[in-house]
C-alpha cells in the first residue's frame, strides 16, 4: 500500500488491515496496530484539521490520533458500505460508498448535516478528489459517470 509521510514519519496501511508508522530517516517501525481483517484501501490520509489519521478498510472508516497507534485507545469509526479512501477537507471527511457520498465530521466521524449525498444509479463510488479553487470535489462511479459535488 502507498503511505503518507507526516513530520519525519511514514504512515502505511497494509493488505491485512494494519496501520504502521516508521521513522522516515532509517525506516525503523515506531508503532503499529491491527484495525480490520480487510485491507486498508488506498492509503492513510492525514487530517490536518482534526490532527488525526483517517483511512478505510472494508465497510468502515477509521480516525485515530497518531499517538494512539501503539495502544488500545479505540478509534472513531463510521460504517460506509463499500467505503472508498477518505478525503479529509475543512473539518469534514468525504467518503465514496454505494451510490452515495458520506460526509463525516473530522473529530468523531459522526454524519455531517446533509449527509449522505445520494447519487441513485451511480454504483460504487471511488475516492473523492478535491478541486480547492472551485470548492467542489469529483468522484468517479462504477456506472461510468463522474460527479462534481460542492463541498459543504
Q: Which residue bears the cell 484495525?
A: 35
The residue among 76, 132, 126, 70 whose CA lies nearest residue 101 is 126
Residue-level length of the chain: 152
Per-residue pLDDT of the chain (152 residues; tens, 9 = 90+): 445 555 588 899 999 999 998 988 888 998 899 999 899 999 899 898 888 999 999 999 999 988 888 788 899 999 999 999 999 998 999 999 999 999 999 989 999 999 999 999 999 999 999 887 888 999 999 999 999 988 87
Cell numbers placing 13 = 496501511
pTM of the predicted model as reported, rounded to 2 decimal places = 0.89
- Side by side, which strands form the sheet with 60-64? 45-47, 52-57, 60-64, 76-79
- Side by side, which strands form the sheet with 92-96? 87-89, 92-96, 100-105, 117-118
Amino acid at each position: 500500500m502507498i503511505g503518507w509521510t507526516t513530520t519525519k514519519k511514514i504512515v502505511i496501511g497494509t493488505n491485512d488491515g494494519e496501520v504502521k508508522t516508521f521513522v522516515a530517516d532509517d525506516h525503523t517501525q515506531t508503532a503499529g496496530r491491527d484495525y480490520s481483517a480487510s485491507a486498508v484501501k488506498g492509503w492513510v490520509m492525514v487530517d490536518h484539521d482534526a490532527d488525526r489519521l483517517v483511512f478505510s478498510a472494508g465497510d468502515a472508516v477509521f480516525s485515530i490520533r497518531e499517538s494512539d497507534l501503539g495502544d488500545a485507545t479505540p478509534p472513531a469509526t463510521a460504517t460506509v458500505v463499500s467505503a472508498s479512501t477518505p478525503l479529509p477537507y475543512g473539518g469534514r471527511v468525504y467518503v465514496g460508498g454505494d451510490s452515495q457520498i458520506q460526509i463525516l465530521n473530522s473529530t468523531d466521524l459522526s454524519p455531517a448535516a446533509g449527509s449522505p449525498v445520494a447519487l441513485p444509479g451511480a454504483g460504487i463510488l471511488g475516492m473523492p478528489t478535491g478541486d480547492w479553487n472551485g470548492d467542489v470535489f469529483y468522484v468517479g462511479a462504477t456506472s461510468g459517470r463522474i460527479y462534481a459535488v460542492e463541498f459543504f
